[in-house]
């Protein structure tokens, strides 16, 4: 294939922008392109999205570039599998151009500060992979890692088609799912004609990973560096067996009632009531092979004391360490450390409690928990507000930086609804509402969040058990009120981190 396409100058320009005219000194983190390989319906998009979610969550700026979207953009409405015939010259030219367009965008995004670009396409011929290598490695100087998904189990393929292809924009005009299935199977046949799996003897210089039958077997070839290692480790651990993760905060604690953060207090009477309700709920669900994970904190352990399932304690699930602010109320913190209080509101992710932790620290220590959760079947995780926010951020595809503001059911939903009912949604209104409930903390229900993987994401359900708890959510103050006075502090609701 001729690399001197009409974009040759463009590549040179991009390259120059990235590397400058001289050598880059102290050059450490080379951008990566992860190029998927495999026939249609082998889970390439699933892997791409999941990988991107994980890398973003651990703080590596990652984006998926899906070739199908470029193709849909470049062509009129999809008619049938005929488009993908190997002898359809016109379509082939379009597809080639789309690949170049997508790669150009990949490189441009990496030049502008992206760290990992996942190129989600079939890349099913050696010629195509050589083209990618020439652009990504030779022209741009980036790292390239191929991830091939191989699966010959017709049940998995059909399930995949029915789950995600039926709802593809390609098939909005075809109502009958059987017709979709048949068209898609023919599309796969066209690809099969020219498919060349990665071959270590023929493509001996490439770094790649081959995943067989959704992880039953994995082959890794010439992987190099930190990011590739992490990717291999992560993709080795994900599985596609259906299961559900149950997340809940511990029951209301004595400190919660007083509005104090941190510490290691016991459950309040209502918290104990929740422990009973939770055990009852879990029993009614009769969840096969359930495991229970808690932090090492008393309030978490007490919350599951009657749950009948094998239990494990994780230090990594302990609540964020609030350092010198441990066991204080927000009012006390603001009075004693007003500048810290404001710094935290300005950037909750990076803010580290003096002698304590930030959300950023939390994500780092929760990473092994996530890895282990990926490996497990049904799990009930009982932890704490900040920890649950980070875990939810992962499952709901938020960047690590957004974790600090993820909404949790206990302490948000009901309280917000009330706020909305009682006052206009203005900054002033928020405080007025808080003020109104100053001597009567928000009440809300203890809630279990059920997370069930579906297609490319997670279904989230909230199961409120009928045991009330104080609201511990402190909404982010609007920018204009970032400088609190000691007076307005007293009005902010209770413990939130």
| Site residues for a second copy per CB under 8 A | 25-28, 200, 216-223, 225-226, 229, 232-233, 236-237, 310-312, 321, 323-324, 326, 355-356, 364-365, 371-372, 375
Distance of closest approach, residue 497 Cβ to a second copy, in angstroms:
15
Is 250 a residue of the active site? yes
What is the C-alpha separation between 317 and 297, in angstroms, rounded?
9
Q: Which is nearer to a second copy, 61 or 168 (CB)?
A: 61
What is the C-alpha separation between 404 and 384, in angstroms, rounded?
13
455: left (phi over 0), alpha (psi -120 to 50) or beta: left
* H or E element at residue 417: helix 413-422
What is the C-alpha separation between 100 and 159, in angstroms, rounded?
31
Contact by Cβ (8 Å): 209, 145: yes
Contact by Cβ (8 Å): 33, 136: yes
Q: Which is nearer to a second copy, 126 or 221 (CB)?
A: 221
Q: Which is nearer to a second copy, 10 or 197 (CB)?
A: 197
Closest CA to 148 of 66, 80, 219: 219
Distance of closest approach, residue 480 Cβ to a second copy, in angstroms:
33
Distance of closest approach, residue 304 Cβ to a second copy, in angstroms:
12
Contact by Cβ (8 Å): 458, 256: no
Half-sphere exposure of 470 (CA within 13 A, CB side): 23
Is 319 a residue of the active site? yes
Which of 319, 321, 345, 367 is labelled catalytic? Answer: 319
Which of 250, 442, 473, 484 is labelled catalytic? Answer: 250
Contact by Cβ (8 Å): 232, 214: no
Please list, residue by residue across 360-394, b when 16 or more beta carbons sit within 10 angstroms of its beta carbon and e when fewer do.
bebbbbbbebbeebbebebbbbbbbbbbbbbbbbb
Q: What Rg do the C-alpha atoms of the chain give, in angstroms?
A: 26
What is the C-alpha separation between 473 and 477, in angstroms, rounded?
12
What is the C-alpha separation between 409 and 416, in angstroms, rounded?
10
Which of 120, 183, 345, 367 is labelled catalytic? Answer: 120
Q: Which is nearer to a second copy, 358 or 495 (CB)?
A: 358
- Token look-up 């069930």 returns 452
Q: Count the Cβ atoms, other than its own, within 10 Å of residue 92.
A: 14
Which of 32, 81, 115, 151 is labelled catalytic? Answer: 151
Distance of closest approach, residue 200 Cβ to a second copy, in angstroms:
7
Distance of closest approach, residue 156 Cβ to a second copy, in angstroms:
17
Is 458 a residue of the active site? no
Contact by Cβ (8 Å): 256, 472: yes
Distance of closest approach, residue 365 Cβ to a second copy, in angstroms:
8
Is 107 a residue of the active site? no
Q: Which is nearer to a second copy, 100 or 369 (CB)?
A: 369
Distance of closest approach, residue 215 Cβ to a second copy, in angstroms:
9
Closest CA to 196 of 143, 280, 129: 129
* H or E element at residue 461: strand 457-470
Distance of closest approach, residue 377 Cβ to a second copy, in angstroms:
12
Closest CA to 63 of 48, 73, 74: 48
CA 228 to chain centre: 18
Q: Which is nearer to a second copy, 384 or 473 (CB)?
A: 384
Report the catalytic residues: 120, 151, 250, 319
């Amino acid at each position: 294939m001729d690399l001197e396409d009409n974009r040759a100058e463009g590549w040179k320009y991009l390259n120059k922008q990235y590397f400058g005219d001289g050598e880059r000194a102290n050059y450490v983190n080379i951008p990566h392109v992860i190029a998927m390989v495999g026939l249609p319906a082998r889970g390439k998009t699933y892997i791409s999205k999941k990988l991107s979610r994980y890398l973003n969550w651990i703080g590596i700026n990652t984006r998926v570039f899906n070739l199908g979207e470029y193709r849909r953009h470049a062509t009129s409405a999809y008619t049938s599998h005929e488009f993908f015939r190997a002898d359809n010259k016109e379509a082939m030219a379009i597809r080639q151009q789309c690949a170049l367009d997508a790669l150009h965008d990949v490189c441009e995004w990496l030049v502008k500060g992206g760290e990992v670009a996942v190129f989600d396409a079939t890349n099913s011929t050696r010629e195509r992979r050589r083209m990618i290598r020439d652009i990504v490695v030779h022209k741009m100087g980036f790292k390239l890692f191929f991830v091939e998904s191989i699966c010959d189990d017709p049940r998995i393929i059909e399930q995949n088609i029915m789950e995600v292809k039926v709802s593809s924009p390609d098939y909005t005009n075809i109502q009958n799912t059987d017709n979709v299935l048949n068209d898609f199977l023919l599309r796969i046949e066209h690809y099969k004609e020219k498919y060349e799996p990665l071959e270590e003897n023929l493509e001996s210089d490439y770094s790649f990973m081959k995943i067989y039958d959704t992880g039953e077997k994995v082959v890794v070839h010439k992987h190099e560096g930190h990011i590739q290692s992490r990717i291999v480790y992560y993709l080795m651990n994900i599985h596609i067996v259906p299961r559900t993760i149950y997340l809940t905060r511990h029951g209301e604690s004595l400190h919660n009632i007083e509005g104090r953060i941190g510490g290691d207090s016991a459950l309040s009477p209502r918290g104990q009531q929740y422990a009973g309700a939770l055990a009852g709920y879990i029993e009614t669900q009769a969840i096969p092979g359930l495991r229970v994970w808690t932090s090492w904190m008393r309030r978490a352990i007490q919350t599951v004391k009657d749950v009948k399932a094998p239990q494990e304690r994780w230090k990594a699930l302990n609540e964020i360490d609030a350092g010198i602010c441990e066991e204080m109320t927000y009012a006390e913190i603001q009075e004693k450390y007003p500048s810290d209080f404001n710094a935290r509101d300005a950037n909750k992710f990076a803010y580290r409690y003096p002698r304590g932790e930030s959300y950023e620290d939390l994500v780092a220590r929760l990473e092994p928990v996530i890895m282990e959760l990926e490996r497990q079947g049904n799990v009930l995780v009982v932890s704490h507000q900040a920890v649950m926010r980070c875990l939810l951020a992962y499952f709901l595809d938020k960047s690590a930086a957004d974790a600090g503001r993820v909404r949790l059911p206990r302490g948000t939903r009901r309280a917000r609804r009330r706020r909305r009912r009682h006052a206009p949604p203005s900054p002033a209104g928020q405080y007025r509402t808080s003020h109104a409930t100053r001597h009567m903390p928000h009440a809300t229900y203890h809630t279990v969040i059920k997370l069930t993987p579906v297609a490319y994401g997670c279904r989230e359900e909230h199961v409120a058990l009928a045991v009330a708890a104080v609201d511990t959510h402190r909404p982010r103050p609007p920018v204009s009120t970032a400088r609190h006075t000691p007076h307005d502090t007293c009005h902010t609701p209770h413990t939130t981190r």
